[in-house]
C-alpha cells in the first residue's frame, strides 16, 4: 500500500515496486510527497518504474532504450553503424 506520512519533520512517500521491494523518499512538503508518490505508483503500474538506486550500466540503459524506441524512430544508418562498431569493440 502506498502512503504519504510525516516522519521526523519530513514528508515521506512510501511505496512498493513491481517486485514488492519497499521504497521511501523524503520531501519538504506534503504536496511534493503526494506528487512523487502518484508518479511512482503510476510508473510501477505501467511497468516503466526504475528505482533511484538502480545500478544499471550505460550499455543496459541504452539497450533498454533501443528496444523501446528503435521501431518508432528513424535513426540514420551512420548512427546505427557507429553503434554496432563500438558495441563489437567493447
Report the DSSP pairing between strands 22-27 and 10-16: antiparallel
Separation CA 63–CA 4 (nearest Å)? 34
State the pTM of this model.
Answer: 0.55
For the chain of 90 residues, list the mean pLDDT of each consecutive stretch of 10.
88 87 89 91 83 75 70 59 66
Q: Where are the alpha helices (DSSP H) in 1-90?
A: 30-46, 58-69, 77-89
39 phi/psi in degrees, rounded to 5: -65, -45
Cβ(2)–Cβ(16) below 8 Å: yes
3-class DSSP assignment, residue 42: helix
Domain segments of the chain: what residues? 3-89
Amino acid at each position: 500500500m502506498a502512503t504519504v506520512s510525516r516522519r521526523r519533520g519530513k514528508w515521506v512517500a512510501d511505496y512498493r515496486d513491481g517486485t514488492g521491494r519497499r521504497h521511501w523518499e523524503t520531501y519538504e512538503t506534503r504536496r511534493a510527497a503526494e506528487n512523487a508518490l502518484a508518479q511512482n505508483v503510476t510508473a510501477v503500474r505501467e511497468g516503466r518504474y526504475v528505482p533511484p538506486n538502480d545500478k544499471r550500466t550505460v550499455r543496459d540503459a541504452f539497450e533498454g532504450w533501443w528496444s523501446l524506441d528503435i521501431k518508432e524512430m528513424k535513426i540514420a544508418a551512420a548512427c546505427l553503424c557507429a553503434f554496432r562498431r563500438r558495441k563489437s569493440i567493447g
